[in-house]
Structure 1
Amino acid sequence: MTTTTQDFSVRTTVYAEELEGWGALRIVPLIPREDIDLIFEWVTQPRAKFWGMTENSHEEVLGIYEFLDSLDTHHAFLATLDGEPLALFQTYEPLHDPVGEAYPAREEDIGMHLLLAPATRPIPHFTPRLGTSLIKYMFSLPGKDRIVVEPDSRNAKALRRLEATCFELGPIIQLAEKEAQLGFLTRAGFDEIQQRPAR
């Protein structure tokens, strides 16, 4: 995770949860002009190659996130743990995104992207626990009952995470910038997972 002097506690919190043994998780809106140095560092590292911005300049990355910030259908957030930023999290309306032309998108769908910050200390099983919290947030949004994801079909690590989180893999689709693997998780499916006894 990346060291920053930014104080995220002053931002509006869209979701908060106390993660036992780890600390306070908060999801706060990304502010492009304030967060660009942090985000640029994350998205241009070789480990973020599937994010598609490794060759982008500082100004290009800023322009992308300022454009997203101008939309009502796409949103970017930072996930923080005890004030430390640990992930870039984005949501979007598939009906208002190119992915919505590649499958039968519905108003009730919500899409997501997740980029974890470079790890500076090990937190065992953190990724699935974070994923669960992000899913809870998305299903707390009015009218949303299915999460849609479309990682690069070559991103084996992302596909393993999806299957571990009980996403149902759909068809492989062709988007302008990548061949993508569709995945879906319904509210009913997530509720069923949550009710299973812990192993």
Structure 2
Amino acid sequence: MRFTFRPVDPVADAPVLHSWVSREYARFWGMAGCTEQDVVEEYSGIAASGHHQAFLGLDGGVPAFLMERYLPEASPLADVYEVQPGDVGMHLLVSPPSGTPQSGFTTSVMQAVMTELFDDPATRRVVVEPDARNHKIHLLNQKVGFRPHGVVTLPAVDPAEDHKQGLLSFCTREDFLATLTPIPAVPAAATKGETQ
């Protein structure tokens, strides 16, 4: 898998994004009942914001995931924690599988996203606030080095709810890189005769 990133085109990409965000698996994205026009408006607003950007992740040129990067100080997060210099917020939505799911695909996507964010030397820490009920994403976040800070109350993303309980978590560059460093095997000769 070799992933590339390009900015979302709110109009041209609306059909594919709508086909992802309107599915049950994406319920925590908060756009389950949206139309394609709603997607155009949402991503046009993001593009015009000056503090929030959306990117399509491509796998061999085919859209495979959506990544959003934003400045926490310009978001509701500024009201629930003390934003540090170099903090960058991130949202991620992986496309539904089009065939047999590939083992490790979502982890590879997350590693590519984190690498992309940390490629900017100004990024010191990535901040996420997924729905506290979204246990799958919490496990994925831990795999790439995120450490939970605590549950925070944020504005609702789902129109059917009046607020969101998000698990605020942080990942430093060092914590992410540590998840990529394989633990070297101890040569057999070094352990010969040892028992446990």
Q: TM-score, normalised to structure 2's length?
A: 0.86
Distance 1:48 1:66 in 2: 20
Runs of 4+ in 1 over 4 A off after TM superposition: none
Residues 52 and 71 of structure 2 are in contact (CA less than 8 Å); yes or no, is this contact kept in structure 1? yes
The alignment status of 1:80 with 2:58, answered yes or no, reads: yes
Of 177-186 and 121-130, the range deviating more from structure 2: 121-130
What CA deviation, in whole Å up to 9, does each residue of 1:168-196 have, x standing for no partner? 01110000111100111001222333334
Alignment-derived partner of residue 193 in structure 2 = none
Task: From 19, 22, 34, give the equivalent of 2:12.
Answer: 34
Deviations 1:64-101 (A, max 9, x none): 11000102210000001111111011010001111121
**Contact conserved, 1:95 with 1:107, CA < 8 A, in 2?**
no
- In the alignment, the residues of structure 2 paired with residue 103 and residue 70 of structure 1 have an alpha-carbon distance, to the nearest angstrom, of 25
| Aligned residue number for residue 150 of structure 1 | 129
The DSSP-based 3-state class of the residue aligned with 1:115 is strand
- Deviation sequence 1:137-185 (CA, Å, 0-9, x none): 1011131110000000001111111122221011100001111001110
Relative to structure 1, the CA distance from residue 120 to residue 102 in structure 2 (aligned partners, 3 Å threshold; closer, same or farther) is: same
- Which of 83, 91, 99 aligns to 1:105? It is 83
Aligned match of 2:183: 197
For residue 166 of structure 1, give the secondary structure of its aligned residue in structure 2: coil
Q: Shift of residue 198 of structure 1? A: 6.5
The 5 Å alignment of 1:1-199 reads 22=1, 24-121=2-99, 122-177=101-156, 178-197=164-183
> For residues 184 and 106 of structure 2, what CA distance do their matches in structure 1 show?
17
Which residues of structure 2 form unaligned runs of 5+? 157-163, 186-196
Judged with a 3 Å threshold, the aligned counterparts in structure 2 of structure 1 residues 198 and 111 are, in CA distance, closer, same or farther, namely farther
Look up the match of 1:19: none
CA contact (8 A) 1:108 1:143 kept: yes
Bigger Rg, which one: 2
CA RMSD of aligned residues (A): 1.4
Task: Give the drift of 1:56.
Answer: 1.8
Aligned positions, number: 177
TM-fit CA distance, 1:130: 1.4
